[in-house]
Amino acid sequence: GQNIDQPTEMTATEGAIVQINCTYQTSGFNGLFWYQQHAGEAPTFLSYNVLDGLEEKGRFSSFLSRSKGYSYLLLKELQMKDSASYLCAVRNTGGFKTIFGAGTRLFVKA
Amino acid sequence: DTEVTQTPKHLVMGMTNKKSLKCEQHMGHRAMYWYKQKAKKPPELMFVYSYEKLSINESVPSRFSPECPNSSLLNLHLHALQPEDSALYLCASSQAVTADTQYFGPGTRLTVL
Protein backbone atom coordinates (compact mmCIF):
# COMPACT_ATOMS: atom_id res chain seq x y z
CA GLY A 1 0.00 0.00 0.00
CA GLN A 2 0.90 3.64 -0.04
CA ASN A 3 0.97 5.74 3.08
CA ILE A 4 2.32 9.15 4.00
CA ASP A 5 2.25 10.22 7.66
CA GLN A 6 2.64 13.72 9.06
CA PRO A 7 1.59 15.24 12.38
CA THR A 8 -1.85 16.79 12.16
CA GLU A 9 -1.04 20.07 13.90
CA MET A 10 1.93 21.91 15.37
CA THR A 11 2.27 25.20 17.22
CA ALA A 12 5.42 27.30 17.40
CA THR A 13 6.45 30.80 18.42
CA GLU A 14 7.39 33.64 16.13
CA GLY A 15 11.16 33.75 15.60
CA ALA A 16 11.64 30.10 16.60
CA ILE A 17 12.57 27.02 14.56
CA VAL A 18 10.13 24.21 13.81
CA GLN A 19 10.67 20.79 12.22
CA ILE A 20 7.79 19.03 10.45
CA ASN A 21 8.36 15.31 9.95
CA CYS A 22 7.06 13.07 7.19
CA THR A 23 7.36 9.30 6.86
CA TYR A 24 6.30 7.44 3.77
CA GLN A 25 5.71 3.97 2.39
CA THR A 26 5.04 4.06 -1.34
CA SER A 27 5.24 1.77 -4.33
CA GLY A 28 8.57 3.06 -5.60
CA PHE A 29 10.12 6.46 -5.03
CA ASN A 30 10.97 9.17 -7.51
CA GLY A 31 11.18 12.32 -5.44
CA LEU A 32 9.66 14.01 -2.40
CA PHE A 33 8.08 17.45 -2.42
CA TRP A 34 7.03 19.90 0.26
CA TYR A 35 4.24 22.35 -0.44
CA GLN A 36 2.80 25.20 1.63
CA GLN A 37 -0.93 25.80 1.50
CA HIS A 38 -2.77 28.69 3.11
CA ALA A 39 -6.45 28.13 3.86
CA GLY A 40 -8.57 28.33 0.73
CA GLU A 41 -5.57 28.80 -1.54
CA ALA A 42 -3.58 26.55 -3.86
CA PRO A 43 -0.46 24.70 -2.71
CA THR A 44 2.80 26.49 -3.48
CA PHE A 45 6.04 24.60 -4.06
CA LEU A 46 8.68 24.83 -1.33
CA SER A 47 11.27 22.12 -1.92
CA TYR A 48 12.18 18.93 -3.75
CA ASN A 49 14.46 16.09 -2.62
CA VAL A 50 15.38 13.04 -4.67
CA LEU A 51 18.77 12.20 -3.14
CA ASP A 52 19.58 11.74 0.54
CA GLY A 53 20.64 14.83 2.41
CA LEU A 54 19.70 18.39 3.17
CA GLU A 55 18.48 20.98 0.68
CA GLU A 56 18.52 24.56 1.95
CA LYS A 57 16.56 27.44 0.50
CA GLY A 58 16.50 30.59 2.58
CA ARG A 59 14.53 30.07 5.81
CA PHE A 60 13.37 26.64 4.62
CA SER A 61 15.38 23.41 4.54
CA SER A 62 14.28 19.90 3.66
CA PHE A 63 15.98 16.63 4.50
CA LEU A 64 15.54 13.18 2.99
CA SER A 65 16.58 9.68 4.03
CA ARG A 66 15.40 7.19 1.41
CA SER A 67 16.51 4.15 3.41
CA LYS A 68 14.34 5.26 6.32
CA GLY A 69 11.44 6.56 4.25
CA TYR A 70 11.75 9.83 6.14
CA SER A 71 11.85 13.52 5.41
CA TYR A 72 11.55 16.71 7.39
CA LEU A 73 10.91 20.35 6.61
CA LEU A 74 12.75 22.84 8.80
CA LEU A 75 11.45 26.38 9.07
CA LYS A 76 13.71 28.96 10.72
CA GLU A 77 12.99 32.45 12.02
CA LEU A 78 9.29 31.76 12.00
CA GLN A 79 6.97 34.53 10.91
CA MET A 80 3.22 34.86 11.46
CA LYS A 81 2.68 34.43 7.71
CA ASP A 82 4.17 30.92 7.99
CA SER A 83 0.91 29.80 9.62
CA ALA A 84 -0.38 27.37 6.99
CA SER A 85 -0.66 23.70 6.13
CA TYR A 86 2.49 21.95 4.97
CA LEU A 87 2.00 19.04 2.60
CA CYS A 88 4.52 16.27 2.10
CA ALA A 89 4.12 14.58 -1.30
CA VAL A 90 5.89 11.60 -2.87
CA ARG A 91 6.22 10.88 -6.57
CA ASN A 92 6.13 7.20 -7.28
CA THR A 93 8.22 5.24 -9.75
CA GLY A 94 7.19 6.01 -13.30
CA GLY A 95 6.46 9.53 -12.20
CA PHE A 96 2.84 9.82 -13.19
CA LYS A 97 1.38 10.01 -9.72
CA THR A 98 2.16 12.22 -6.77
CA ILE A 99 0.67 11.09 -3.48
CA PHE A 100 -0.02 13.81 -0.92
CA GLY A 101 0.05 13.44 2.83
CA ALA A 102 -2.84 14.88 4.83
CA GLY A 103 -0.76 17.92 5.72
CA THR A 104 0.46 19.48 8.95
CA ARG A 105 -1.33 22.61 10.10
CA LEU A 106 1.23 24.96 11.62
CA PHE A 107 0.12 27.74 13.94
CA VAL A 108 2.67 30.48 14.63
CA LYS A 109 1.92 32.52 17.74
CA ALA A 110 3.38 35.84 18.84
CA ASP B 1 6.93 32.78 -14.92
CA THR B 2 5.45 29.92 -12.96
CA GLU B 3 1.81 30.88 -13.30
CA VAL B 4 -1.12 28.59 -13.82
CA THR B 5 -4.45 30.37 -14.17
CA GLN B 6 -7.90 28.96 -13.52
CA THR B 7 -11.37 30.29 -14.22
CA PRO B 8 -13.80 30.80 -12.73
CA LYS B 9 -12.59 31.43 -9.20
CA HIS B 10 -15.96 30.46 -7.73
CA LEU B 11 -18.81 28.45 -9.26
CA VAL B 12 -22.23 27.59 -7.91
CA MET B 13 -24.30 25.14 -9.93
CA GLY B 14 -27.38 23.02 -9.65
CA MET B 15 -27.39 19.28 -10.09
CA THR B 16 -28.90 19.55 -13.60
CA ASN B 17 -26.48 22.22 -14.87
CA LYS B 18 -23.59 21.80 -17.30
CA LYS B 19 -20.53 23.91 -16.64
CA SER B 20 -16.81 23.89 -17.43
CA LEU B 21 -13.68 24.72 -15.49
CA LYS B 22 -10.74 26.13 -17.40
CA CYS B 23 -7.01 26.00 -16.77
CA GLU B 24 -4.19 27.64 -18.72
CA GLN B 25 -0.41 27.69 -18.51
CA HIS B 26 2.21 29.27 -20.76
CA MET B 27 5.32 27.69 -19.30
CA GLY B 28 5.67 25.12 -22.09
CA HIS B 29 4.76 22.34 -19.68
CA ARG B 30 3.63 19.11 -21.32
CA ALA B 31 1.91 17.53 -18.32
CA MET B 32 -1.30 18.88 -16.79
CA TYR B 33 -3.35 17.60 -13.89
CA TRP B 34 -6.74 17.95 -12.22
CA TYR B 35 -7.01 17.50 -8.47
CA LYS B 36 -10.00 17.65 -6.13
CA GLN B 37 -9.52 18.90 -2.60
CA LYS B 38 -12.05 18.80 0.22
CA ALA B 39 -11.64 20.96 3.32
CA LYS B 40 -8.74 19.93 5.57
CA LYS B 41 -7.86 17.06 3.23
CA PRO B 42 -4.94 16.67 0.82
CA PRO B 43 -5.42 17.11 -2.94
CA GLU B 44 -6.68 13.93 -4.64
CA LEU B 45 -5.52 13.24 -8.17
CA MET B 46 -8.32 12.98 -10.74
CA PHE B 47 -6.70 13.10 -14.20
CA VAL B 48 -3.26 13.40 -15.76
CA TYR B 49 -2.59 14.56 -19.31
CA SER B 50 0.79 14.05 -20.93
CA TYR B 51 1.42 15.63 -24.33
CA GLU B 52 -2.32 16.31 -24.64
CA LYS B 53 -3.20 12.66 -24.14
CA LEU B 54 -5.04 11.32 -21.12
CA SER B 55 -2.55 9.22 -19.16
CA ILE B 56 -4.35 8.64 -15.89
CA ASN B 57 -8.01 8.58 -14.92
CA GLU B 58 -8.27 7.78 -11.23
CA SER B 59 -11.64 6.05 -11.57
CA VAL B 60 -13.38 9.41 -11.67
CA PRO B 61 -17.19 9.30 -12.27
CA SER B 62 -18.21 10.09 -15.84
CA ARG B 63 -20.02 13.24 -14.72
CA PHE B 64 -16.51 14.74 -14.79
CA SER B 65 -15.11 14.90 -18.33
CA PRO B 66 -11.63 16.29 -18.96
CA GLU B 67 -10.43 17.78 -22.22
CA CYS B 68 -7.04 19.03 -23.36
CA PRO B 69 -7.58 21.11 -26.54
CA ASN B 70 -3.89 22.04 -26.80
CA SER B 71 -0.69 22.00 -24.79
CA SER B 72 -1.60 25.17 -22.87
CA LEU B 73 -5.23 24.49 -22.01
CA LEU B 74 -7.03 22.00 -19.83
CA ASN B 75 -10.77 21.89 -19.28
CA LEU B 76 -12.98 19.97 -16.92
CA HIS B 77 -16.58 19.60 -18.07
CA LEU B 78 -19.16 19.09 -15.35
CA HIS B 79 -22.60 17.57 -15.78
CA ALA B 80 -25.20 16.22 -13.35
CA LEU B 81 -22.98 16.74 -10.31
CA GLN B 82 -23.91 15.81 -6.77
CA PRO B 83 -23.65 18.01 -3.65
CA GLU B 84 -20.75 15.84 -2.43
CA ASP B 85 -18.77 17.01 -5.47
CA SER B 86 -18.50 20.44 -3.86
CA ALA B 87 -14.78 21.06 -3.34
CA LEU B 88 -11.78 23.08 -4.46
CA TYR B 89 -10.69 21.93 -7.92
CA LEU B 90 -7.02 22.47 -8.57
CA CYS B 91 -5.21 22.42 -11.87
CA ALA B 92 -1.46 21.84 -11.95
CA SER B 93 1.23 21.55 -14.61
CA SER B 94 4.77 20.25 -14.79
CA GLN B 95 7.51 20.11 -17.39
CA ALA B 96 6.81 16.41 -17.87
CA VAL B 97 5.10 13.63 -15.96
CA THR B 98 8.40 12.41 -14.55
CA ALA B 99 9.83 13.76 -11.31
CA ASP B 100 9.23 17.42 -12.06
CA THR B 101 7.72 19.99 -9.76
CA GLN B 102 4.02 20.56 -10.20
CA TYR B 103 2.84 24.16 -10.14
CA PHE B 104 -0.71 24.70 -9.00
CA GLY B 105 -3.31 27.19 -10.13
CA PRO B 106 -5.39 29.12 -7.58
CA GLY B 107 -8.26 26.67 -7.88
CA THR B 108 -11.99 26.89 -8.52
CA ARG B 109 -14.23 26.72 -5.47
CA LEU B 110 -17.22 24.66 -6.65
CA THR B 111 -20.51 24.46 -4.79
CA VAL B 112 -23.21 22.07 -6.03
CA LEU B 113 -26.70 22.80 -4.74
- Residue closest to B84 by CA, chosen among B107, B64, B57, B105: B64
pLDDT at res. A94: 67
Query: Cβ of A42 and B109 within 8 Å?
Result: no
Rounded to a whole number of angstroms, the CA Rg of chain A reads: 13
Q: HSE-up of A56 (CA within 13 Å, CB side)?
A: 3
* Dist. CA B66–CA B73, nearest whole Å: 11
Mean confidence (pLDDT) of chain A: 93
Q: Are B82 and B74 in contact (CB under 8 A)?
A: no
What are A44-97's pLDDT values in tens digits? 999 999 999 999 989 999 999 999 999 999 999 999 999 999 999 998 876 678
Residues of A in contact with B104 (CB under 8 A): 35, 42-44
Pairing of strands B108-112, B10-13: parallel
Q: What is the pLDDT of residue A104?
A: 97
A→B interface, C-beta within 8 Å: 30-31, 33, 35, 40-45, 48, 50, 87, 91, 95-98, 100-103
For range B22-34, the mean pLDDT? 94
**HSE-up of A48 (CA within 13 Å, CB side)?**
13
8 Å CB contact of B99 and A42: no
With CA atoms as reference, report the closest residue to A90 among A36, A39, A34, A31.
A31
Model confidence at B88: pLDDT above 90: yes
* Beta-carbon separation of A91 and B99 below 8 A: yes
Per-residue model confidence (pLDDT) at position B75: 98
